[in-house]
Structure 1
């Protein structure tokens, strides 16, 4: 094997220009593979982080995945007559016996949960009106399952505990109504109730629709305003492992009966879009390496043509076809390893340059940095694709060299 490797290196040194071109092709291919992969996967991770961190991993609602069967159908299944237009008994909506169910969910490993009562309300101030979603929360629990406390630009979520009629609104709504800390507004509900509320906090998420239509108050105060005493209609759940959300949600739903929706189920269309995007991305960067491998194929094919007599002499000396093939496969391997090493260094530098790029999209006040993924697996993947392309490009001429008949070649017939 040492002799074969030495011959392979000698062949490459005899053609420095072709070898250098092949090396540059692989180097650039690996570098662009790394840069594009790091950028695309970084943007994917950033998107998922925003999606996962800014929304519950699991939401338990006060409804059932499938409607309950009517008593008449249970009593007389398959009856000749069917009762239609049955109106369910009117009741106060909410999760029944929610404290026991909350405790059962809390006992699950790696689970943080907060109860929430969500309803519709209308905020009026100085003749202006704005429909919004009012959420009654327990501040100490809400901070464990939401990032809303980190997004406060004035006041804090804990201020609700010291202000019985306090409300926290978004920056968009505050700007629209020209409100500030200490401002008082009138809150109207669908049932006709009205209450004067005091602004004790202002948050900003960057989502204009959310910042204009969301408000938070104490859970007990929301139960009074929305006329749902001792009721909640949501459990907001965060997990230590977000990827386990689908399994945990199924277990919770089977345990308590109410519908539990994981972030994976709620975002299936977005996740499928990310999968398609990744397939396109890897297809493009792989095509770059495939194009670069043509340089290797051309270099080794030329060496095989020029070294036909040398190959015939080697086979006459006792080299088998596999030994000859190995010589040219070594050439592809050497070009692949050297090109990959140089490409990794260049790609790493390109990733650092991209990480320093800052953008300010039109209409956005915050500067956005390019998200870069630094995971080690993409380096291994780039080298694996490069070596596969190099060895694949080297195999065809290597196989041709191994099949050359030595006698006819030495006679000049080939």
Structure 2
């Protein structure tokens, strides 16, 4: 170990002055608290973003292809013409997606009706695994639908009960506009785990939805499942090389882009705000080192007299700040990662799923986040040590030792 590091450690461990020992402890605790708070906050933000993405991927297709002009009637030939040869695509299915009203007795709510081929939907979104009552296969019958659990609660219905669906796409008559009404039966109740879906979802088979919305042989679009949902941008670019106007390709990240951008921006803002804790702690380090330099003037004068240069003295005081930073950062990392581990393992932070779309807050931290916190902490500690170290290195031995 270099001599200047040994001297730096000795100065920090010196207990001659209780005030300086106390300042050392306070400086160390400031770094510990700042690093731990930064880690936990980043874990909260990353965990929330991870949870949102997980819920979205459980209920949404990875890529959707729409036709923005005219009826999408060529969907049967579309896969063979455009999707063939893209190895990342696992499966595809046409779908109908539209708004309607659902009513029971005097209760009326707005719902989203989704029509799909039942067998295809099993493989793409695994909707059948989320059924909590009834049977997914019931929608093979045109008279049956699957409804979200909160739709069932709002309408006060159960398996076998009837509800009335009203389509906005009715027909015009000489007497005026007549909405299309259909009586259907609850064949299954589904739990997505997301209030936004559970409170609006009505599922039926594709042909039934096409008839209900007077779409004839047209669909809203085609949804794709790919082997890795995080490759959606790559697959989208491959599709856009083949597919042009009037078709539009959107990935699950595009459809939720504003949400993800807002969360990433909030994560960055929280990092910058909480980094101020470490910055404030660094002021304590500067104050401590300046006081230490004044206390050790005699030692500095002696060291310079026996041959130590200004760089050697500067390194002594720089390393005092770095040792506080390294020790505080290490302890803060251990505390922060421990809290993150237990918080995520035992689901300590409960959430209202109707508001946050998840029942508990997952805590996730990546290597990049840990590295960013560590580097930021060490950099702040280093910078806060530069001025005191420079001041100490400029001491003149003759002036220091004149009255000794």
Q: TM-score range by the shorter chain?
A: 0.7 to 0.9
Contact 2:195–2:353 (CA under 8 A) maintained in structure 1 = no
Equivalent position of 1:368 in the other structure? 359
Secondary structure, counterpart of 2:395 in structure 1: coil
Runs of 5+ unmatched residues, structure 1 = 65-92
Cα distance, 1:178–1:39 mapped onto 2, change above 3 Å: closer
Which runs of structure 1 show a deviation greater than 6 angstroms over 4 or more consecutive aligned residues?
362-367
The TM-score with structure 1 as length reference comes to 0.80
The TM-score with structure 2 as length reference comes to 0.82
Secondary structure, counterpart of 1:369 in structure 2: coil
Does 2:254 align with 1:265? yes
Counterparts of 1:401 and 1:349, CA distance in 2: 39
Runs of 5+ unmatched residues, structure 2 = 16-20, 172-179
Equivalent position of 1:94 in the other structure? 71
Counterparts of 2:105 and 2:26, CA distance in 1: 74
Aligned length: 384
Equivalent position of 2:369 in the other structure? 378
- RMSD between superposed Cα atoms in Å: 3.2
User: By how many angstroms is 1:254 displaced?
Assistant: 4.3
User: Is 279-288 or 213-222 further displaced after alignment?
Assistant: 213-222
Partner of residue 96 from structure 2, selected from 102, 117, 134: 117
Does 2:201 align with 1:220? no
Cα distance, 1:124–1:359 mapped onto 2, change above 3 Å: closer
Cα distance, 1:156–1:412 mapped onto 2, change above 3 Å: farther
Secondary structure, counterpart of 1:359 in structure 2: coil
Equivalent position of 1:70 in the other structure? none
User: Is 237-246 or 315-324 further displaced after alignment?
Assistant: 237-246
Counterparts of 2:97 and 2:351, CA distance in 1: 35
Equivalent position of 1:171 in the other structure? 149
Equivalent position of 1:411 in the other structure? 402
Contact 1:58–1:237 (CA under 8 A) maintained in structure 2 = yes
Contact 2:318–2:386 (CA under 8 A) maintained in structure 1 = yes
Equivalent position of 1:284 in the other structure? 273
CA deviation map 1:107-161 (0-9, x unaligned): 4232343210234555565576655443221123223433543432213433434
Counterparts of 1:23 and 1:365, CA distance in 2: 37
Does 2:28 align with 1:37? no
Equivalent position of 1:79 in the other structure? none
User: By how many angstroms is 1:281 displaced?
Assistant: 0.6
Counterparts of 2:166 and 2:354, CA distance in 1: 33
Counterparts of 2:212 and 2:357, CA distance in 1: 37
Counterparts of 1:116 and 1:8, CA distance in 2: 70
Cα distance, 1:25–1:398 mapped onto 2, change above 3 Å: same
Counterparts of 1:204 and 1:106, CA distance in 2: 34
Matches within 5 A, 1:67-86: none
Contact 1:358–1:367 (CA under 8 A) maintained in structure 2 = no
User: By how many angstroms is 1:59 displaced?
Assistant: 2.1
Equivalent position of 1:55 in the other structure? 60
Cα distance, 1:211–1:275 mapped onto 2, change above 3 Å: closer
Counterparts of 1:365 and 1:409, CA distance in 2: 64
Equivalent position of 2:285 in the other structure? 296
Counterparts of 1:177 and 1:128, CA distance in 2: 6
Cα distance, 1:207–1:12 mapped onto 2, change above 3 Å: closer
Contact 2:210–2:217 (CA under 8 A) maintained in structure 1 = yes
Equivalent position of 1:252 in the other structure? 239
